Structures are given as C-alpha cells and as structure tokens.
C-alpha cells in the first residue's frame, strides 16, 4: 500500500490559486461547473482556477470543458488527482464511482466535494468517512453536496427553528415527488440499475429529504420503518426489454432522538409533480411550510399570536437580511435552483481557506446512508422496525453569507 501524499498548502501564498478538477460533466457536472464559473463574481472567495474537467468520452468532455469554462479536459481521473496544480476534486460522477475516487483523492492530499448520496452502499460510505477523518487530521477538507441546505428559505427555516419560533417540534412531513419515470415506456438508464445507482428514488431523492429533516432539526434518527415499490418493473433498453432493479418510490417513518416523528415519501412516478420537495414542520408554537417549486418562499404560522390573528403568512425570502442573498440582486429579486450550487461552492472554498471542516461532512452523509440502509432493511423485512446505532456525528450547520 502506498503512503498517502502530504497535502499541499496552496494558501500559504495568497498569489497561488487553488486548482480545481471536476469529475463528471453531465447533469451534476454542468450544475457544479456553473457554480465554479460564477461564484467569484458574487462572493469573496479565495483565488481558484477551473483547471480540468474529467469524463470518459474524450470528444464530449472536451466540448463540455470549453462550454463550461474549464481550461482543459481529461479522461483519466487517476492522473488528474496526482497533479501538483490540482488542490480540489469535485466529484460529480455516478454514485458507484464515489468511493474509489474520493478515497484516492483524499489520500493524495486533495480537498474533496462529492455529490450526494455519499456512496451506493453503506460499506463504501463507511470507508469514505474513515478516509475523510484521516485526511482531516492532515488539514484536508471534505464535504458532501446536499445542495438544498443552501436554499436561502431553508437556511432561514433552520434559523427560525433554532430560535425557538416553532417551540417543540413534534412532527415533520417531507415529500419529494417527481414524474420523469411516470411513462412506462421511458427508457432504461444507469439510474435504474442497482449495480450503478445503488437504489432508485430512495438514494436519489429520499437522501435529500432525510438530510433536510436532520439539518433543520439538528437531530438524529433512532428508529426507521420503510417500504419500497417498483411500479414499472421492466423498461425498454438498448438490447430490448430490461429489468428495473431499483425502486420507483419509497416511504419511511423516522423516530428522532428529540421525540419528534418524521414521515418521508418520495417518488419518481408521481404524475404532474416535476421537482417538488415539500416540507412541513409542526411545533407546539408554530409551523413552517416549504415547497422547492416555490423556493423563494416560506409559509409561517405563529401560534403564539391571538387566535383571531393566526394564519399562514408568506415570507418572500429575497432580502439582504436573509441567508446568502446580500451577494445577489436588489431586494425583492428572486433567485433559482442553480444558486444553491454557487452557495455550496462558496461555503466549501471558505472552509478550505479557513482550515475549518465544512458542512455537511462525510459523517453527515454517513448518517443519511445508515437511514437509507435501514429503510431497505425494513422494506425487505416487510415493515419491521429497524433500530439505528446512536452516532456522535450531529447534523451540521451552515451559515449563510
């Protein structure tokens, strides 16, 4: 086994920019590239350069690199992570590649940002978290990309909950619903094969919903019951009809250490729902409502007001006093989904500059992985209640700009 490389310290000289390499150039690669290209125009971040974009198809990745603002392209991620001019690795590749790339990059002394979910399996997630802990001791930072923590309205919701505006939170409803697979003739993709995707709606979008429960409440899950279902078991592929080996939808009930209960429902076959992450947080003194399809708004009910004055009010989260928004447009001007990735890169770069562990950590990602795994176990055992081990990693916090 090779000895892990000592991390370089590009920030020792303010004139030395951080070299960034992104691995993957499809959906998430494009979203992350957009963030790298724009973050310095709006936020005070350390100097960096978009060095190289990595992908398997030489022609396609070269075209993407030119379009997305990368200086060059490559097809071998292993050679890229050994380069002295690369200090950050942004992993946007499919989940089955996360563990190998992240562990190698961390051992090479590179700071790592990896898309959610942390890995395809619990075992891989544990290995990645152990590697991150070792690297952190040498000053190498790592973060998992749960970008919805960077929605200003959700960051504000967390602030309101932490301030006690809802009182004791009793229960949460989280539903992440999409319909891109509602048509039974929609073709097979890597996301519908267990060997490449790990799971279906569970890992893809339930991971976001579960992370929001942990993030908003700063809580831990102690018990899980769950169910999975594949409504369309076969789909047309390149070589004829293929079996779908992951779930189309998932349901879970989560018991939290605080005593609160969360229900989670996710689907990729919910006809008419395009990308709707709905969150309802109910406390004894108030309630918060959120829907990603109206991501600049919160619904808020203050139950401490006189009964005749109570009712949900709409908070338009677009003011400089709201998280992150002072960097953007004049008050009242809304922002979009893509801005969450810009906020994510901003927070990651700031953590690297300051030498502080960014949030959410790999430990936070591992906590979500434990819960996803418990949902699968419960579903396989037909609604058995799964006890989760108590972990020391609390849900991370994020401070907006």
- Quick one: pLDDT band at residue 12, thresholds 50, 70, 90? very low
The pLDDT, as a whole number, for residue 382 is 85
Length of the chain: 401
- Quick one: pLDDT band at residue 4, thresholds 50, 70, 90? very low
For the 153-336+360-387 domain, the top CATH level (class) is alpha beta
The mean per-residue pLDDT over the stretch 192-199 comes to 94
- Quick one: pLDDT band at residue 398, thresholds 50, 70, 90? very low
Say how far apart CA 290 and CA 281 lie, in whole Å.
9
Q: Note the pLDDT tens digit of each residue in 136-170.
A: 999 999 999 999 999 999 999 999 999 999 999 99
Residues 6+ apart with CB under 8 A from 340: 147, 148, 150, 151
- Quick one: pLDDT band at residue 62, thresholds 50, 70, 90? very high
Burial class (CB in 10 A: 0-12, 13-18, 19+), 179: middle
**Range scoring the smallest mean pLDDT among 6-10, 223-227, 298-302:** 6-10
Q: Which two tokens stand for residue 111?
A: 């700071």
Fold of 10-140: Rossmann fold (3.40.50)
- Quick one: pLDDT band at residue 14, thresholds 50, 70, 90? low
Say how far apart CA 211 and CA 209 lie, in whole Å.
5
Domain with CATH 3.40.50.720 in the chain: 10-140
Q: Is the pTM of this model over 0.85?
A: yes
Q: Note the pLDDT tens digit of each residue in 237-261.
A: 998 999 999 999 999 999 999 999 9
Burial class (CB in 10 A: 0-12, 13-18, 19+), 334: middle
* Number of neighbours of residue 316 by Cβ within 10 angstroms: 14
Mean pLDDT of all residues belonging to the chain: 94
Domain with CATH 3.30.360.10 in the chain: 153-336+360-387
Q: Which of 78, 128, 139 is nearest to 98 (CA)?
A: 128
Say how far apart CA 371 and CA 251 lie, in whole Å.
12
* Number of neighbours of residue 103 by Cβ within 10 angstroms: 20
């Amino acid at each position: 086994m090779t000895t892990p490389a000592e991390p370089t310290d590009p920030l020792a000289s303010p004139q030395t920019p951080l070299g960034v390499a992104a691995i993957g150039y499809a959906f998430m690669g494009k979203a992350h590239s957009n963030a790298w290209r724009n973050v310095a125009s709006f936020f005070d971040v350390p100097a960096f350069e978009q060095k190289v974009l990595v992908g398997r198809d030489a022609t396609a990745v070269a075209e993407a690199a030119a379009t997305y603002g990368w200086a060059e392209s490559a097809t071998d991620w292993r050679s890229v992570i050994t380069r002295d001019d690369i200090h950050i690795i942004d992993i946007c590749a499919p989940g089955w590649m996360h563990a190998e790339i992240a562990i190698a990059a961390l051992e090479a002394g590179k700071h790592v940002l990896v898309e959610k979910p942390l890995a395809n399996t619990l075992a891989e997630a544990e290995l990645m978290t152990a590697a991150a802990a070792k690297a952190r001791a040498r000053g190498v930072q790592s973060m998992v990309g749960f970008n919805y923590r960077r929605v200003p309205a959700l960051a504000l919701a967390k602030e309101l909950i932490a301030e006690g505006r809802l009182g004791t939170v009793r229960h949460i409803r989280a539903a992440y619903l999409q319909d891109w697979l509602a048509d039974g003739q929609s073709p097979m993709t890597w996301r519908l094969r267990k060997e490449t995707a790990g799971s279906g709606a569970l890992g893809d979008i339930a991971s976001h919903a579960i992370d929001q429960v942990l993030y908003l409440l700063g809580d831990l899950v102690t018990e899980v019951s769950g169910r999975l279902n594949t409504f369309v078991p076969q789909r047309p592929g390149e070589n004829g009809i293929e079996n779908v080996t992951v779930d189309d939808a998932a349901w879970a009930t989560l018991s939290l250490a605080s005593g609160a209960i969360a229900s989670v429902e996710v689907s990729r076959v919910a006809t008419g729902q395009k990308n709707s992450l709905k969150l309802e947080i109910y406390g004894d003194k108030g309630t918060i409502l959120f829907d990603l399809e109206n991501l600049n708004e919160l619904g808020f009910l203050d139950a401490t007001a006189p009964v005749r004055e109570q009712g949900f009010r709409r908070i338009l989260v677009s003011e400089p006093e709201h998280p992150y928004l002072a960097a953007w447009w004049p008050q009242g001007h809304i922002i979009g989904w893509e801005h969450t990735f810009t906020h994510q890169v901003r927070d990651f770069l700031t953590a690297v500059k300051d030498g502080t562990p960014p949030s959410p950590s790999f430990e936070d990602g591992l906590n979500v992985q434990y819960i996803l795994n418990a949902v699968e176990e419960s579903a396989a055992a037909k609604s058995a209640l799964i006890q989760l081990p108590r972990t020391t990693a609390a849900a991370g916090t994020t401070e907006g700009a």
